[in-house]
Chain A
Amino acid sequence: MTRARDVANIDGILTTTGDTYFASAAATPARLGIGAAGTYLTSNGTIPSWGSVSAGGMTLLSTTSLTGVSTVTISSINQTYQNIQFSIENVGWTGTTYLRVRPNDTNTIKATAFEGTVVASFSQNLATQANYSSPAVFTYIIDNYASTTSIKPLKVYGAAGLDTQFFGGGFWNATTAITSVVISNGAGSNFTSGTVKVWGIK
C-alpha cells in the first residue's frame, strides 16, 4: 500500500468529527466514534473504547433514624470497601450522658481522646465522655474494617452540647471483620433525635 493510498484510506474511515483511528485487527484500520461527554479512552485489552471511570470516594450504604428508641443496631454492613465511616448527626438525648458506639457490639476499642485542651481517657466501647449534653455530632472512621487478619486503626471527631470539641484515635483491637454497629447512650433512654449514616470509602 502506498502512502497516498494510506491517506485516502484514513480519509474514508474517519468520517465524523471526533473519530479516532485504530486497528481493530492486524492491518485492519477502523474508526472509533467520539465517546459521550465525560467518558475516557479505555481498553478491553484488545481494542480501545470509551468508558466511565469507576467512582471512588464515599458511598452511602444506609441511613437510620435514632429517634424514639434507646438502641439502634445496623447489621449486614457491606464488606467490599476499604474503610467504613459512621456519621452520627444531630443526636439528642435527655440530660447528660455518653454516646455509646459499639462496632460488632463488643468492647474492643483502645483509643485516646483529646477533648478541648484536656487529654481524656477514651472508653473501650468507643463511647465519648460521661457528661456530654446534646445535640451531638460525631464521625467515626475505621480503616480496613472488613479485614479478618488485621487490627484496625480508627479516628473519631465531633462535638457535643455545642461547646465541647472532641478528637480521638486508636484502634479496633480485633482481627474480626466489622459487620455491624450498635448505638445507644449511657442513660439507656430513648434518643430524642438523630440520624446515623454508614458510608463505604474506597
Chain B
Amino acid sequence: MIRIHNAETNEVIDREMNDEELAQLNEGIADAEAQREAEAAKAAEKQAILDKLGITAEQAKLLLS
C-alpha cells in the first residue's frame, strides 16, 4: 500500500501501488540487499586481516590511534 498526502490540500489517499511505484520499491529492496552484502563482505575482509595478524579489532584500533 502507498499513502499519498497532498501537503497543500491536506488530502490523504491510501491505495495499492501501481507498476511504477512497485518497481521503485523493488529497486529500494535490491539497493538495501546490495548494501547489506557489501557491508558483510567488508566486515569479513576486515576480520580475515585481523585473524591473519592475530589481533582483535580493539587492538588494531589501539595500534592506529
Q: Using CB atoms and an 8 Å cutoff, list the residues of chain A in contact with chain B.
A: 61-62, 64-66, 68-78, 97-98, 100, 105, 123, 125, 127, 129-131, 182, 184-188, 190, 198
Q: Which residues of A contact B25 (CB under 8 A)?
A: 70-71, 184, 188
- Complex formed: what's the CA distance from A131 to B33 in Å? 10
- Complex formed: what's the CA distance from A186 to B33 in Å? 8
Q: Which residues of A contact B29 (CB under 8 A)?
A: 186-188
- Complex formed: what's the CA distance from A45 to B9 in Å? 36
Q: Which residues of A contact B35 (CB under 8 A)?
A: 98, 123, 127, 129-130, 186
The reply to whether the CB of B7 lies closer than 8 angstroms to some CB of chain A is yes
The reply to whether the CB of B47 lies closer than 8 angstroms to some CB of chain A is no
Say yes or no: B39 contacts A131, CB within 8 Å: yes
Q: Which residue of B lies closest to A183 (CB)?
A: B3
Q: Which residues of B contact A127 (CB under 8 A)?
A: 31-32, 35
The reply to whether the CB of B26 lies closer than 8 angstroms to some CB of chain A is yes
| With known contacts A70-B25, A130-B39, A131-B39, A64–B12 Cβ distance under 8 A | yes
| B12-44 residues at the A interface, CB under 8 angstroms | 12, 14, 17, 21, 24-26, 28-29, 31-33, 35-36, 39
Q: Which residues of B contact A98 (CB under 8 A)?
A: 32, 35
The reply to whether the CB of B1 lies closer than 8 angstroms to some CB of chain A is yes
Q: Choose among A61, A65, A72 the residue that contacts B2 (Cβ–Cβ < 8 A).
A: A72
Q: Which residues of B contact A71 (CB under 8 A)?
A: 1-3, 17, 21, 24-25
